[in-house]
Amino acid sequence: MTHDKITDRITDQLSDPTGAMAEATISHLGELRDRFAERATTAGLVDVGYRTVDSPFGPLLVAATAVGVVRIAFDMEGHDAVLATLAERISPRIIRPTGGLGAASTLDDAARELTEYFDGRRQRFALPLDLRLTRGFRRSVVEHLPEIGYGRTASYAAIAAAVGHPAAVRAVGSACATNPLPVVIPCHRVVRSDGTIGAYLGGSDAKRALLSMEHASAEYRPAEAPARRAH
């Protein structure tokens, strides 16, 4: 292709950004992105992979490391802001992987299990988890939360007592509010002592809907195998 023809092609594309040429360019860029993601994953150059998963409350951002799922975020948290935080706290080598290697495989498993959960076909998650984003007392709370059974609730005060700090009721609330893995680690099952639902990362409506869904289906589904131990 001559220089003039190349120039004419670029000019046509710029003058008609919504035309077939622009669509072909966008498609080509998508292919290049997927190829880059696949090669980066194969070469072990990705520290955090991510994807989105549909939910009744909008798209969920799901991020995973080589250890396991490290972050789940509601749309209202701002996915770009969450990714920026992951880049700061874990690694800037973040990508949306393709294929079934490394984090991509974990992300595919997470998408499947989340879909099953929202469809009422799963009571317990069996995903590897990476809890590096929570530490100290908050981590002890987060690690205890899966012990609250599907379709059940526990008060903030009860959780504080269960982790050995009965006076730390507000700190339990803070731990739930900063839970890096909502839904999978069920902070939505923690309610106030008076029975009101309290705050939630995904909003009070989402928390109420999750509790209602679990309560409605808990009696009709057998318990599943325990979740894998988090790291």
Strands (DSSP E) contained in 94-138 are: 94-95
Instruction: Quote the tokens at residue 178.
Output: 């900063």
Provide the sign of the torsion angle of the four alpha carbons 200, 202, 206, 211, taken in this order: negative
173 within 8 A of 188, measured Cβ to Cβ: no
Give strand pairing partners of 198: none
Q: How do the residues of the chain divide into helix, strand and coil, expressed in percent and rounded to 5?
A: 50, 10, 40
The candidate with the shortest Cα–Cα distance to 198, out of 218, 181, 223, 179, is 179
Residue 187 catalytic? yes
Single out the catalytic residue among 187, 190, 201, 211.
187
223 within 8 A of 123, measured Cβ to Cβ: yes
Catalytic residues: 187
